[in-house]
């Protein structure tokens, strides 16, 4: 079976000088990957015609589909459109429909329509426009020489909108996702090598067409069984068979199957168990709360959070005992327990997640150096605590403690949620 | 002036499928950019020899310096090393010194020395090793044909260590850091096209060697003036001149200059004004709190947050009046004001940021449909409020409201912070 090849071109000086991290190509890889479409190469070039042309020529050599992001928008640093028209030898024409859309959108936002907006609708004559409900620049689709090019704005949610609504349906139509089947299993509490050690003997007979990938992230590992076949139904059955073997072996380390992240899985078990959760965060600064709240319908089980950044706020709002704070220390198991209990009382919740630590890059004591974070999940009956020792990287420490906080709550529910 | 050209090659299937976002090339761009060294192109390829060779050949065509990350380490299918040795036609030899270093490091970590560690020291004969104090894989430096190649591990802090300590001194020696100058201006509250409309007539006389880029994100636009010249002092003066014209025109829409994001700028004005801030969040779920807490040293001005997700928690913890909640509605200007005031009282803070809204994709009323979010910043003396109307995209609504919340606080401090 001939697999279609995909290349990504990201355009922007800001990507080269490191002012912006390219998350667009990450999202593209994820969205395409969910349907079995693999990205083969990426090029990143600056906002200059010769650079964009270089990438276009290189991508055309190998890819069936070329996804381009960046360099579409109202101001003059946007030369992508001109370069595409040059590349295809197509003239630039005023697209009436695009201008009507744009004017409507600007009107709704009470932004005056200006010359540069008209200019933004002067686009290559061979471009088909892809609707962008979230911004002013439409996506541009080109089909030439049996290949597809799509140029999208660099603003992440606009890019994603066009990709999901304009591009993916077309790719399905064209059979880019042919015969693909996959199953993903989210696990928690085991490392990649431990999982491999346990499951690989059991799946020795797995056909070659199925590949197993380990996708580790902070505190959890997602396993993906996937393949592509001319008999997708038979493939799906085989994947299911080996997936079930893995689930049986890893038992309670399996958080769930599907694309959901840990917050979603946690939301599901909270809803199933009719449990209410809250958080009391110090060093994670609201990160756990945000991860819970991001999930649609979180208000069914999420009561709220107290972020006690100063010592006083910890004491007053969470009702922490000054003696405990002083004797055990702000960053200690006892304090993190007390924080969780305080939050349970305050929010009348069934369980709380709490964190206290030195996120870095400075702070800490001899006993609890920078990067030491205590995490708790539970209530007055049962409490699980854990201490992690991170490095000096503040963002990484916050992310790791947040992920582990959610996993601790998930584990608590598994153990005590039905009591 | 002949500018040295830099290319980056990032290697890893995980980067193509979107499992990992490439932050390494961002950091490289930043670190090089601080000394005026510009990255011209980036290639990202998978863990296969033919793919790596493609990138090596392409990079050699244009670059004086090629920085490679990924594909060095103990467990990875280590094909980068083999491919480099093939590329340079150099044999693989056992590097005694590298093994001595590695053994010392493993010993200190109480990790037994295994065969795979010995194997890790079999490296191209023409490689000079660059010290990696933070991991087991050294950087590899190659100087051939008047060009430089550096291969570094993909682990971000290891890469950064080698870059800062091994690569940058060499680049300074070789004169890579010549003649670059830039200035960035962070603005808030104006769209890209509005800014362009206002400033472009004023900078018509700007020399061609200076380029202006617009870098929009939620609620703010960063402007970057940059160029490279054989007379860097004259260039810097010209950039400064036009930067000042822009700042004067955009006045209070300018949050600051430099690379800081809105949270950092806000942190700076809070610290300068000796002001303490807190948040009371509903639909943003702790996102604003997290953005404030992520900044190093936030404990100097951040008191904490209450995330009142349920109605009861809003009432009880923030002390909201039931009558107001019922008459004005949970998503209303009056409620968001009361939330901010409640948080100020609770945390004894000088100002609070508050949010309440329907983040979506469901929820809402006729008056306040899905996506309606009220934001407030202030205290009992002065309060700024704003209503935003988003769409159904929950994450986007949360992000937008959070960004605007920070900007509102910034605006409040500008107006009232000195009272």
Instruction: Determine, for residues B17 and A25 on separate chains, whether the beta-carbon distance falls below 8 Å.
Output: no
Of the partner residues B23, B196, B302, the one whose CB lies closest to the CB of residue A75? B196
pLDDT value at B279 more than 70:
yes
Residues of B in contact with A33 (CB under 8 A): 17-18
Residues of A in contact with B307 (CB under 8 A): 279, 286, 289, 293, 304-307
Please state, in angstroms and as integers, the Cα–Cα distance from residue B297 to each residue in A59, A363, B258, B268, B293, following that order: 45, 10, 18, 10, 8
Give the model's confidence band at A76: pLDDT under 50 very low, under 70 low, under 90 confident, else very high: low
Instruction: Determine, for residues B29 and A41 on separate chains, whether the beta-carbon distance falls below 8 Å.
Output: no
Residue A74 is given by DSSP the state S
Query: Which among A5, A6, A17, A362 is the top mutation candidate for probing chain B, defined by the most B β-carbons within 10 Å of its own β-carbon?
Result: A17
Secondary structure class of B130 (helix, strand, coil) = strand
Question: Which residue pairs from B268-272 have beta carbons closer than 8 angstroms and sit at least 24 positions apart in sequence?
Answer: B269/B410, B269/B413, B269/B414, B269/B417, B270/B300, B270/B301, B270/B413, B271/B297, B271/B300, B271/B301
What are the tens digits of pLDDT across the range A84-138?
Answer: 999 999 999 999 988 998 898 888 878 888 888 888 899 999 999 999 988 888 9
Q: What is the mean pLDDT of residues B49-65?
A: 96
CB atoms within 10 A of CB B376: 29
Q: How far apart are CA A345 and CA A330, in angstroms?
A: 20
Q: What is the mean pLDDT of residues A242-257?
A: 93
The DSSP secondary structure of A184-234, one letter per residue, reads: EEEEES--HHHHHHHHGGGGTT--TTEEEEEEEETTEEEEEEEEE-SSHHH
Read off φ and ψ for residue B330, nearest 5 degrees: -65, -35
Conformation bin of residue B371: beta by default, left when phi > 0, alpha when psi is -120 to 50 = left
Output A6 or A392, whichever has higher pLDDT.
A6
Q: How far apart are CA A351 and CA A256, in angstroms?
A: 21
Q: What is the pLDDT of residue B167?
A: 97
Instruction: Determine, for residues A290 and B294 on separate chains, whether the beta-carbon distance falls below 8 Å.
Output: no
Q: Please tell me the distance in Å from A46's CA to the nearest CA on chain B.
A: 7
Give the model's confidence band at B41: pLDDT under 50 very low, under 70 low, under 90 confident, else very high: very high
Quote the mean pLDDT of chain A: 91
Give the model's confidence band at B306: pLDDT under 50 very low, under 70 low, under 90 confident, else very high: very high
First CA to last CA distance, chain B: 52
Which neighbouring-strand residues pair with A213? A224
User: Closest chain B residue to A287 measured between Cα atoms?
Assistant: B290
Instruction: Determine, for residues B30 and A18 on separate chains, whether the beta-carbon distance falls below 8 Å.
Output: yes
Q: What is the pLDDT of residue A298?
A: 95
Q: Please tell me the distance in Å from A272's CA to the nearest CA on chain B.
A: 19
pLDDT value at A198 more than 70:
yes
Instruction: Determine, for residues B288 and A286 on separate chains, whether the beta-carbon distance falls below 8 Å.
Output: yes
Q: What percent of chain A has pLDDT over 90?
A: 62
pLDDT value at A24 more than 80:
yes
Q: What is the pLDDT of residue A390?
A: 80
Of the partner residues B18, B284, B362, the one whose CB lies closest to the CB of residue A27? B18
Q: What is the mean pLDDT of residues B196-220?
A: 88
Q: What is the mean pLDDT of residues B213-240?
A: 87
Q: What is the pLDDT of residue B384?
A: 97
pLDDT value at B98 more than 60:
yes
Instruction: Determine, for residues B19 and A47 on separate chains, whether the beta-carbon distance falls below 8 Å.
Output: no
Q: How far apart are CA B232 and CA B181, in angstroms?
A: 7
Cα of B45 vs its chain's centroid, Å: 23
Q: What is the mean pLDDT of residues B242-258?
A: 92
Instruction: Determine, for residues A19 and B215 on separate chains, whether the beta-carbon distance falls below 8 Å.
Output: yes
pLDDT value at A419 more than 60:
no
Q: Counting one residue from A and one from B, how many pairs have CB atoms under 8 Å apart?
A: 289
Q: What is the pLDDT of residue B226?
A: 87
Dihedral angle of Cα B324, A286, A375, B349, to the nearest 10 degrees = -70
Strands (E), A239-394: 254-257, 277-281, 302-308, 351-357, 372-378, 383-389
Instruction: Determine, for residues B16 and A41 on separate chains, whether the beta-carbon distance falls below 8 Å.
Output: yes
pLDDT value at B111 more than 80:
no
Q: What is the mean pLDDT of residues B295-312?
A: 92
Secondary structure class of B149 (helix, strand, coil) = strand
B135 contacts B148 by C-beta, under 8 angstroms: no
Instruction: Determine, for residues B22 and A17 on separate chains, whether the beta-carbon distance falls below 8 Å.
Output: no
Q: Strands B302-308, B254-257: parallel, antiparallel or unpaired by DSSP? A: unpaired
pLDDT value at B81 more than 60:
yes
Of the partner residues A18, A293, A346, the one whose CB lies closest to the CB of residue B286? A293
pLDDT value at B1 more than 60:
no
Find all residues with CB under 8 Å of B382, minimum gap 6, and list them.
Answer: B412, B415, B416, B419
Q: Please tell me the distance in Å from B271's CA to the nearest CA on chain A.
A: 15
User: Closest chain A residue to B317 measured between Cα atoms?
Assistant: A346
Output B70 or B29, whichever has higher pLDDT.
B29
Please state the pTM of the whole predicted model.
0.79
Strands (E), B82-237: 92-94, 122-124, 128-130, 139-144, 147-152, 180-188, 211-217, 220-228
Q: What is the pLDDT of residue B335?
A: 95
B267 contacts B295 by C-beta, under 8 angstroms: yes
Burial annotation A338-361 (CB, 10 A radius, 16+ → b, else e): bbbbbbbebbebbbbbbbbbbbbe
Q: Which residue is listed with tokens 């050209």?
A: B5
Q: What is the pLDDT of residue B390?
A: 82
Residues of A in contact with B225 (CB under 8 A): none
Residues of A in contact with B308 (CB under 8 A): 304
Q: What percent of chain A has pLDDT over 70?
A: 98
Find all residues with CB under 8 Å of A321, minimum gap 6, and list them.
Answer: A338
Output B214 or B280, whichever has higher pLDDT.
B280
Q: Please tell me the distance in Å from A218's CA to the nearest CA on chain B.
A: 12
Q: How far apart are CA A141 and CA A65, in angstroms?
A: 11
Strands (E), B232-359: 254-257, 277-281, 302-308, 351-357
Instruction: Determine, for residues A298 and B309 on separate chains, whether the beta-carbon distance falls below 8 Å.
Output: yes
Of the partner residues B16, B19, B296, the one whose CB lies closest to the CB of residue A394? B296
Q: What is the mean pLDDT of residues B254-268?
A: 89
Q: How far apart are CA B8 and CA A411, in angstroms?
A: 42
Query: Which among B5, B309, B357, B386 is the top mutation candidate for probing chain A, defined by the most A β-carbons within 10 Å of its own β-carbon?
Result: B309
Q: Please tell me the distance in Å from B234's CA to the nearest CA on chain A.
A: 22
pLDDT value at B75 more than 60:
no
| ipTM of the complex in this document | 0.78
Residues of A in contact with B16 (CB under 8 A): 29, 38-42
Strand order in the sheet with B302-308: A383-389, A372-378, A351-357, A277-281, A302-308, B302-308, B277-281, B351-357, B372-378, B383-389
pLDDT value at A248 more than 70:
yes
Residues of A in contact with B39 (CB under 8 A): 16-18
pLDDT value at A45 more than 70:
yes
Please state, in angstroms and as integers, the Cα–Cα distance from residue A99 to each residue in A5, A93, A123, A233, A285, following that order: 34, 12, 11, 46, 44
pLDDT value at A374 more than 90:
yes
First CA to last CA distance, chain A: 52
Q: Strands A220-228, A180-188: parallel, antiparallel or unpaired by DSSP? A: antiparallel
Instruction: Determine, for residues A17 and B39 on separate chains, whether the beta-carbon distance falls below 8 Å.
Output: yes
Instruction: Determine, for residues A41 and B38 on separate chains, whether the beta-carbon distance falls below 8 Å.
Output: no
Output B29 or B261, whichever has higher pLDDT.
B29
A258 contacts A184 by C-beta, under 8 angstroms: yes
Of the partner residues A47, A283, A290, the one whose CB lies closest to the CB of residue B286? A290
Quote the mean pLDDT of chain B: 90
């Amino acid at each position: 079976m001939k697999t279609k090849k995909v290349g990504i071109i990201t355009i922007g000086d800001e990507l080269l000088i490191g002012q912006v991290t390219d998350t667009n190509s990450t999202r593209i890889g994820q969205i395409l990957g969910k349907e079995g479409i693999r990205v083969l190469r990426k090029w990143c070039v600056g906002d200059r015609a010769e650079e964009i042309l270089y990438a276009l020529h290189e991508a055309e050599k190998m890819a069936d589909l070329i996804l381009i992001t960046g360099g579409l928008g109202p101001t003059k640093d946007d030369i992508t459109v001109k370069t595409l028209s040059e590349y295809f030898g197509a003239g630039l024409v005023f697209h009436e429909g695009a201008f009507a859309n744009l004017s409507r959108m600007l009107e709704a936002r009470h932004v005056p329509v200006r010359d540069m907006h008209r200019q933004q609708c002067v686009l290559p004559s061979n471009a088909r426009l892809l609707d962008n409900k979230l911004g002013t620049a439409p996506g541009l689709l080109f089909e030439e020489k049996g290949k597809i090019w799509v140029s999208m704005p660099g603003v992440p949610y606009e890019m994603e909108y066009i990709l999901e609504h304009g591009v993916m349906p077309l790719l399905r139509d064209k059979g880019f996702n042919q015969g693909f089947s996959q199953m993903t299993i989210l696990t928690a509490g085991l490392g990649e090598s431990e999982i491999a050690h346990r499951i690989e003997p059991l799946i020795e007979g797995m056909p070659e067409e199925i590949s197993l990938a380990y996708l580790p992230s902070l505190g959890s590992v997602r396993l993906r069984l996937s393949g592509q076949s001319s008999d997708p139904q038979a493939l799906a059955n085989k994947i299911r068979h080996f997936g079930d073997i893995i689930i049986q072996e890893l038992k309670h380390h399996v958080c769930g199957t599907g694309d959901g992240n840990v917050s979603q899985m946690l939301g599901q078990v909270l809803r199933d168990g009719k449990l209410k959760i809250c958080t009391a965060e110090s060093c994670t600064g609201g990160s756990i709360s945000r991860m819970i709240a991001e999930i649609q319908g979180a208000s069914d089980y999420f009561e709220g959070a107290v972020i006690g950044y100063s010592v006083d706020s910890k004491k007053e709002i969470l009702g922490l005992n000054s003696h405990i704070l002083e004797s055990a220390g702000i960053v200690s198991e006892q304090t993190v327990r007390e924080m969780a209990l305080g939050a349970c009382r305050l929010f009348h919740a069934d369980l709380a997640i709490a964190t206290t630590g030195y996120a870095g890059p400075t702070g800490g004591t001899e006993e609890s150096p920078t990067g030491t974070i205590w995490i708790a999940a539970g209530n007055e009956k049962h409490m699980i605590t854990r201490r992690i020792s991170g490095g000096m990287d503040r963002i990484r420490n916050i992310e790791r403690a947040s992920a582990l906080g959610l996993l601790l709550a998930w584990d608590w529910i598994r153990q005590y949620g039905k009591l």
